[in-house]
């Protein structure tokens, strides 16, 4: 693997963050225009003399309504993003069910983190713990105020001091490399798209239910309800396609090399690559936090939860996974 310096990695992650910031509004606005176009296309159908229906797209009308809703879309997404971006710390900790870990409760962890932070001249992040007998850890946050390292109680109980230092050094390297800022940005974006999809799906469900109720009243109502239902269905399909496309783009942007870089930086920081390799081997045997059941949050973890690899989409998820194979990571560490 070609060597990449820390400053190069930081610059690369900052550039990707800016790219995502610019790309996401473009996708949202494009999705809005396509949805309006679909509704306009199927809403302008007419019958010819032979009784066949013809559809046409009035781009002038679509553009008119698009410009009309543009300020609302931009405003809502901007407010949503700002709130989610600056509330990311509490949102992530809520998703994984973590709690603050005090120095009095576990001075061992605080001593290790403090020593590592002094060694690399960085401010000490907050420390959280998840009461889970399985093993995992992750770093999160976008700035010094929100940077945090989270570990499970299972990992604290099973790993030796050297192994724990290797894992914590790995997570601190993610913070130093600005990996967490890039990942949090992608989580916020995917969260907005996912919420839009859920709202659209709920609307579709309500339309189907109300359409069924109206169909009992009159055939005319049935026809109108069916037409509206089809339009909503098409809009949902468009939203789902755009959301899936955006998810793939996000995962492509988040290179798997970030984990290799964090492994290398963590091994250098703790001074014991074999200890980090041993920790990864133990964690991979029982990776926890599978109760999160959110792929966007799982991309923060040092090892992907094995329970989330199950299902018919496991192969597809593997193709776009943000985590490299753990055995390969261990093999590289053992060659240091």
The residues carrying an active-site annotation are 171
What letters, b where the CB count within 10 A reaches 16 and e where it falls short, cover 40-71?
A: bbeeeeeeeeeeeeeeeeeeeebeeebeeeee
d(CA 85, CA 103): 28
d(CA 189, CA 242): 12
Strand pairing partners for 301? 138
CB-CB neighbours of 77 under 10 Å:
18
217, 206 contact by CB (below 8 A): no
Q: Which helix (H) or strand (E) holds 140?
A: strand 137-140
Task: Give the C-alpha distances (Å, rounded to integers) separating 263 from 90, 165, 267.
Answer: 26, 12, 6
116, 168 contact by CB (below 8 A): yes
DSSP 8-state secondary structure symbol assigned to residue 135: B
Backbone CA torsion sign across 208, 213, 219, 224:
negative
d(CA 107, CA 101): 10
């Amino acid at each position: 693997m070609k060597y990449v310096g820390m400053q190069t990695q930081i610059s690369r992650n900052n550039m990707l963050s800016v790219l995502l910031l610019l790309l996401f509004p473009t996708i949202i606005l494009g999705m809005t225009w396509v949805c309006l176009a679909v509704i306009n296309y199927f809403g302008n159908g007419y019958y010819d003399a032979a009784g066949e229906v013809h559809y046409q797209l009035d781009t002038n009308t679509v553009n008119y309504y698009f410009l009309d809703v543009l300020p609302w879309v931009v405003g809502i997404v901007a407010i949503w993003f700002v709130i989610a971006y600056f509330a990311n710390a509490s949102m992530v900790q809520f998703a994984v069910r973590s709690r603050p870990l005090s120095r009095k409760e576990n001075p061992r962890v605080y001593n290790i983190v403090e020593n590592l932070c002094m060694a690399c001249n960085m401010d000490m992040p907050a420390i959280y713990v998840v009461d889970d007998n399985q093993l995992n850890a992750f770093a999160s946050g976008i700035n010094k105020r929100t940077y945090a390292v989270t570990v499970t109680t299972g990992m604290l109980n099973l790993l030796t001091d050297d192994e724990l230092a290797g894992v914590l050094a790995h997570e601190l390297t993610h913070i130093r490399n600005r990996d967490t800022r890039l990942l949090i940005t992608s989580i916020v974006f995917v969260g907005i798209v996912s919420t839009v999809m859920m709202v659209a799906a709920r609307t579709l469900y309500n339309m189907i239910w109300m359409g069924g109720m109206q169909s009992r009243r009159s055939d005319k109502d049935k026809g109108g309800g069916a037409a509206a239902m089809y339009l909503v269905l098409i809009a949902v399909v468009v939203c789902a396609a755009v959301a899936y496309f955006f998810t793939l783009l996000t995962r492509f942007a988040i290179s798997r090399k970030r984990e290799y870089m964090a492994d290398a930086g963590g091994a250098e920081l703790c001074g014991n690559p074999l200890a980090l390799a041993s920790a990864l081997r133990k964690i991979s045997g029982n990776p926890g936090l599978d109760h999160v059941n959110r792929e966007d949050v799982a991309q923060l973890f040092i090892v992907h939860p094995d329970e989330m690899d199950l299902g018919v989409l496991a192969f597809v998820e593997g193709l776009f996974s943000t985590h490299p194979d753990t055995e390969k990571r261990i093999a590289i560490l053992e060659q240091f």
